[in-house]
Structure 1
Amino acid sequence: MIFATELRTIFLLSLLTARAASMAAVTTPKADLRYVSLAASDAANQVANPVAYPRDLYPEIEPFETGYLDVGNHKLYYDLSGNPNGVPCIFLHGGPGAGCSPRSRRFFDPAYYKIVILDQRGSGKSIPNAADDLDGSLVENTTPALVHDIDLLRAKLGIERWGVVLGGSWGSTLALAYAQAHPDRCSNLLLRGVFLFGPDEVEYLFCNGGTFGQNPGAWSKYVQYLEDTSSNWAVEKTNLLGAYWTRLTSSDAAVRSAAAAAFVGYELSISKTYTDPAVLETYLGTPTILIPFAVMEVHYMLHAGFMRRGQLLDNVKVMAEHGHKVAIAHGRADYVCQPQAAYRLAQALGAVGAQCELEIVAGAGHSDSEPGLIDAMVRATDKFRDVAAVIA
């Protein structure tokens, strides 16, 4: 799941982070694009001139508070922006391992919301970062631990109840897990690119070539990297995720970097409707930045998301019982997280009487930098704001 690693926008914004800034002084190696498929044509130049939608992101905003949440083996970076006395909301990034960026704050009206962003264990500015301490980043890195972290942060900040929990891709998984574990601690959920961690979803994306139908080149390159670097392909071809894990956790830094480039390059290739090849080449030219994303994602995939099979759909009743309102925005052309997951969730919520609005966005892929998804997500946070104002 690219889950928030968002090509042009995320790459440029990631340069603003402390880690990327420190790496900027180092000469960027030439990207190894042998295992990245060519982008589809863009004769209309939509990369540079995307279609205009009614709503765009709110203006850039700086945090009024930053800090670290100490959870023992990890120190998790967070920051607060917007209205210090506003309705609290939290942005849950994807991956796992992708980390947040300043852009994450811009889905919310800063005059109304108290905006919280959090880098999950092993990711972003949190300590340790998987790129610096691989073994340390994996210690107690599970879904229940991340759910607990969110609630610890809520308590630390003196927040009684999250007004909105926004999660995209893996972040949607985590948002649902949190809402079901602490249903009295949140009111509204906004989910983008839903991923329920069903076995079929994992198999489709990483194991059985489900993406080959729409993106044959990308899938072929994803597999080719493993075959070209395998000493026992007859065995490894039966467990592609396991094969990537072996390389991503290799003692050889060059092997880790090459595996990260191939793995993340695959997802970048299928995540957006229009892919910018120049940005892709630059991004993969510094693959060590991508190790947290690649490592965490495979770590979670190999462990079924650290959840019981079917858990998120089975537990929707508790959300209805606590009056959760759910908005879902999902790209029609999302080849990372298929629209069927969003449909399944909406149907399950509706069946137990929960309030849920599903918007399938035409012309949009997986990334939350897709103009159509930005429009849908900002409209949703504004609607939560306006409905609350009317009730008040």
Structure 2
Amino acid sequence: MSNDPLYPPCEPHSWGHLAVGDGHQIYWEECGNPAGKPALVLHGGPGSGCTPGWRRYFDPMRYRVILMDQRGCGRSRPHAGDTVDALAANTTAHLIADIEQLRRHLGIQCWLVLGASWGSTLALAYAARHAECVREMVLFSIATTTSFEIDWITRGVGIYFPAAWERFRDALPAHLRDGDIATAYHRLLIDPDPATQERAARAWCDWEAAIVALRADQKPHPRYADPRFRLGFARLVTLYWSQRAWLADGELLAAVEGLGHVPAVLIHGRVDLCNPLVTPWRLARAWPEARLVTIDQGGHDAGDEATSGAIVAALDGFARS
């Protein structure tokens, strides 16, 4: 019998599109208690977009929850699955500026920040620049988008998935296989030929699905069946990874030393093969107010009850502060 740790589904009570410049409009929505503690959700990817499941981590009586779709994905406009124009003016710095613009638009002084996977990178980068606006942080499936992490997720982790990695590599033309894989895929994903784009998007998303699976019979997330999602997601991930998220290696690890006043809970699966545990372990060692919670049987996907329960417990704890 399942013991679902999540709160019941809820619907947003306000939403809209915010023009942030450069032709981009980011989608945002608000749910929970309008007088509650403000909290911002930063989704992964880059390019996955927010889904209703994110709302269920929060006690709707105690939190004012803000979800936003980052540039080029979800319900934001333009969408990277529709046009390469969505890739223009789309960098980590732009996303940080969007977060600040949304905070001011909603009249929020400071908020808790929840981020997962790529969203944890973005959360850390945002906090490094706007620490005065961050009250607490809850991060899970943690990544800092360093060169090591990108090389691991596109090459190194293939030692655990040799057949899937071979298919992933061989989907590239032979002359592109020995270089930077994210950059090579990005070239195909913006190729003028739609068939080339589609083949690359499918191969990229097949690899993403393979490396998050803890069981051989685990089904890919249904979102990968949508051609528009596949293309937009793959374009954005490869754009950011090819540029190492426009962050210097070690930049975020160094930055957390300046976040000593910000309490944080870092939640990570011990068997997360996409993002090895060493990343949050190093962050926790450098961050006096951070507590690392390791999920023994947890992988990268937060769908298991132990990981979801840890996220809810962390947010419940901060709701009382």
Alignment TM class, shorter chain as reference: over 0.9
Q: Amino acid of the residue matched to residue 36 of structure 2? A: G
- 1:174 maps to 2:122: yes
Task: Pick from 268, 279, 297 the counterpart of residue 330 of structure 1.
Answer: 268
Is the contact made by 1:236 and 1:242 (CA closer than 8 Å) also made in structure 2?
Answer: no
Structure whose CA Rg is larger: 1
- What SS does the aligned partner of 1:167 have? strand
| Partner residue, 2:304 | 370
| Partner residue, 1:56 | 5
Pick closer, same or farther for the CA change 1:281–1:360 going to 2, 3 Å.
Answer: closer
Rounded Cα–Cα distance in structure 2 between residues aligned with 1:301 and 1:240: 9
Rounded Cα–Cα distance in structure 1 between residues aligned with 2:176 and 2:312: 46
- 1:156 maps to 2:136: no
Q: Amino acid of the residue matched to residue 158 of structure 2? A: F
| Partner residue, 2:82 | 132
Task: Pick from 42, 47, 64 the counterpart of residue 92 of structure 1.
Answer: 42
Taking the TM superposition and a 5 Å limit, the aligned residue runs for 1:312-327 are 312-320=252-260, 323-327=261-265
**What do residues 303-346 of structure 1 show as CA deviations (whole Å, max 9, x unaligned)?**
111112211011112211xx100101101111111111111111
Q: Amino acid of the residue matched to residue 162 of structure 2? A: P
| Partner residue, 1:76 | 26
- 1:184 maps to 2:132: yes
Count of residues in Structure 1 that have an aligned counterpart in Structure 2: 320
Q: Amino acid of the residue matched to residue 57 of structure 1? A: L
Question: How many Å apart are 1:282 and its aligned residue?
Answer: 5.8
Question: How many Å apart are 1:235 and its aligned residue?
Answer: 4.6
Give RMSD over aligned pairs.
1.7
Q: Amino acid of the residue matched to residue 192 of structure 1? A: F
| Partner residue, 1:380 | 314
Task: Pick from 238, 241, 247 the counterpart of residue 307 of structure 1.
Answer: 247
Is the contact made by 2:180 and 2:242 (CA closer than 8 Å) also made in structure 1?
Answer: no
- What SS does the aligned partner of 1:190 have? strand
Q: Give identity over the alignment, percent.
A: 34
**What do residues 82-114 of structure 1 show as CA deviations (whole Å, max 9, x unaligned)?**
001000001100001110011111111111000
Q: Structure 1: 5+ residue runs without aligned partners?
A: 1-48
Rounded Cα–Cα distance in structure 2 between residues aligned with 1:275 and 1:168: 24
Higher RCO (C-alpha under 8 Å, 6+ residues apart): 1
| Partner residue, 1:265 | 206
Q: Amino acid of the residue matched to residue 214 of structure 1? A: Y
Rounded Cα–Cα distance in structure 2 between residues aligned with 1:131 and 1:275: 29
Stretch deviating more after TM superposition (91-100 or 197-206): 197-206
Question: How many Å apart are 1:385 and its aligned residue?
Answer: 1.3
Taking the TM superposition and a 5 Å limit, the aligned residue runs for 1:25-40 are none
Q: Amino acid of the residue matched to residue 184 of structure 1? A: E
- Structure 2 length as normaliser, TM-score? 0.95
Is the contact made by 1:364 and 1:371 (CA closer than 8 Å) also made in structure 2?
Answer: no
Rounded Cα–Cα distance in structure 1 between residues aligned with 2:177 and 2:209: 23
Is the contact made by 1:258 and 1:287 (CA closer than 8 Å) also made in structure 2?
Answer: no
- 1:239 maps to 2:180: yes
Is the contact made by 2:182 and 2:239 (CA closer than 8 Å) also made in structure 1?
Answer: no
| Partner residue, 1:252 | 193
**What do residues 97-148 of structure 1 show as CA deviations (whole Å, max 9, x unaligned)?**
11001111111111100000000000100000001122x2111111111011
Question: How many Å apart are 1:274 and its aligned residue?
Answer: 3.7
**What do residues 154-186 of structure 1 show as CA deviations (whole Å, max 9, x unaligned)?**
110000110x20000000000001111101101
Rounded Cα–Cα distance in structure 1 between residues aligned with 2:181 and 2:46: 18
Rounded Cα–Cα distance in structure 2 between residues aligned with 1:287 and 1:295: 12
Pick closer, same or farther for the CA change 1:61–1:333 going to 2, 3 Å.
Answer: same
